[in-house]
């Protein structure tokens, strides 16, 4: 499968983290999602119903980021990839969760976790 839909740089506020202050104040998270899906039906029909609607996907992902807090961005990434795979047409999904405001006492550009899951 070489067809993909990519949603990059989706920013949402969440209260995830190990520390109490992360849960209290919250912080921004950035999500990238790449879905492997057969785009031929949508290309033929030119109908959004024949593909994964990336606007609706974005809403569901933002809902997870803004929802129930978790300690680890690994857990958050797993929940997000499950959202991506909820659409039966998605054969595989890769999700990266960036935590640009991670509580690290040194200058850094980014902290991110990437997971890939495939439909059985």
- Of 30, 25, 39, 91, nearest to 58 (Cα)? 30
Q: Average pLDDT of 94-109?
A: 96
**Structurally, how many domains does the chain consist of?**
1
pLDDT tens profile 34-84: 999 999 999 999 999 999 999 999 999 999 999 999 999 999 999 999 999
pLDDT of residue 2: 82
Q: What is the CATH number of the domain that holds 93?
A: 3.30.1130.10
Average pLDDT value for the chain: 96
Judged against a pLDDT cut of 90, whether residue 120 lies above it is answered with no
Report residue 1's pLDDT band, with 50, 70 and 90 as the boundaries: low
Q: Sort 57 into a burial class: Cβ within 10 Å, 0-12 / 13-18 / 19+.
A: buried
How much of the chain exceeds pLDDT 90, in percent?
97
The residue annotated as part of the active site, out of 52, 97, 99, 105, is 99
Radius of gyration of the chain (CA): 15
**Is 99 an annotated catalytic residue?**
yes
- SS3 (DSSP) at 37: strand
pTM score: 0.94
Range of the domain at 77: 4-118
């Amino acid at each position: 499968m070489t067809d993909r839909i990519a949603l990059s740089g989706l920013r949402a506020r969440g209260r995830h983290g190990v520390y109490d202050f992360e849960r209290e104040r919250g912080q921004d998270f950035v999500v990238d999602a790449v879905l492997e899906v057969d785009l031929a039906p949508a290309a033929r029909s030119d109908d959004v119903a024949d593909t994964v609607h990336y606007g609706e996907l974005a809403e569901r992902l933002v809902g997870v980021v803004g929802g129930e807090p978790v300690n680890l961005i690994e857990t958050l990434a797993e929940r997000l990839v499950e959202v991506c795979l909820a659409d039966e047409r998605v054969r595989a999904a890769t999700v990266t969760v960036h935590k640009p405001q991670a509580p690290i006492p040194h200058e850094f550009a980014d902290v991110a976790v990437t997971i890939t899951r495939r439909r059985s």
